[in-house]
Structure 1
Amino acid sequence: MMPTPYPQQTISAANDEVIPHTIVRRVYGLPPSWLRQLGRPDQIKTRRQDHSKPVALYRRRRVEAFIDARQPAYLQMLIRQAKQYRRRRSETCRQVHDLIAWARNVEIVVTTLPQTVAQLAQETSASFRLNCAGENSDRFVLTPKAMVAHVRHTCTNYHQLLSQLQRGPGTTVTYLILKQRVNQVVRERLRQQYGVALAEAHR
């Protein structure tokens, strides 16, 4: 069975197809220096959502003809990009590894706690109502888990440790490890000061 030929209108549309510069960069791998050699875009289109940021459009056939005319240099450029990507990835993995190691070993400090469980419970309830600005305050249920969270935020170096984190690979995992470690240290401290029941409930 012979393949169905494309209608002439479809072929013409394909010949005139334009693609945004993001596709030229991500699919074809052209860096900014090559885009400058490619020259001015064939069309400039305004975004519906944001008219202040127009989109540069290039005819796909023009882009591929540009690449074909520079095939040896193009392949060498792609090889360089791949090597650079591997180096960056290796460096990123090392940074993530170091972050996680730091989170697992950094010292967790717990300062002085209220003298009694009743005082801790009162502080926990008041802190929740203050920080939630009245939202869902009527639904608040005092639990050991809530007390652990209150101590984590007010009686440890948790916030100081979080302030050392910068946005980047591994940050979210590091935050979760820190939070888990601080909670464990807090539960142990509560167990020592107030007894087993408070620390064991609601893990």
Structure 2
Amino acid sequence: HAEIVDELEKTWGKQFDKTDNTQVSGEIAVPTPISGKLMNLSSVNDQTFSSGSVGQGFAIKPSDGKVLAPFDATVRQVFTTRHAIGVVGDNGVVLLIHIGLGTVKLKGTGFVSYVEQGQKVKKGQELIEFWDPTIKKAGLDDTVIVVITNSDKFSSIQMTAKAGQSVQAEDNVLELKAETEKDSVPDTLQPAD
């Protein structure tokens, strides 16, 4: 079972790429869903995430176990093991929040989910709570990975805070710029009479 879930995580965003008609526009600030020390995604000790193949994003060495909704969104998937959640923001951002590395082996022990698939959530609403000592006692890495699985819809993804600095849940740490439509000219640019 753990292997199946592990494989699911790595392809999570891909299953929605074809059917996803979420619209993104302008600049979008992405807050961290958890407090802790900010890390570059490339320094995560997992090749699948650190390579960016799941999507661009960041990681957090957590200082508490509360995972909050970074923006208003719909819960797309809560993994049965409760160590990962996928949400689609009202802003069009498709986000995978993955708690720890190898934590699928815990089979949900030490994790509580407060939401279910299809549920609408508000920014700041608690999604998942985890007990960090459970992860550490099992000898696992507690790094929380936050990945934009529809990264290809953005022309620019920049960290706005420095890796290594302490951040609080809901602090903006990433800025996304949507791909611009080359042929779209706003109607408001009509000459005045």
TM-score w.r.t. structure 2 length? 0.20
Ranked by relative contact order (alpha carbons within 8 Å, sequence separation 6 or more), the top structure is: 2
TM-score w.r.t. structure 1 length? 0.20
Q: Which has the higher helix share?
A: 1
Between Structure 1 and Structure 2, whose CA radius of gyration is higher? 1
Q: Which has the higher strand share?
A: 2
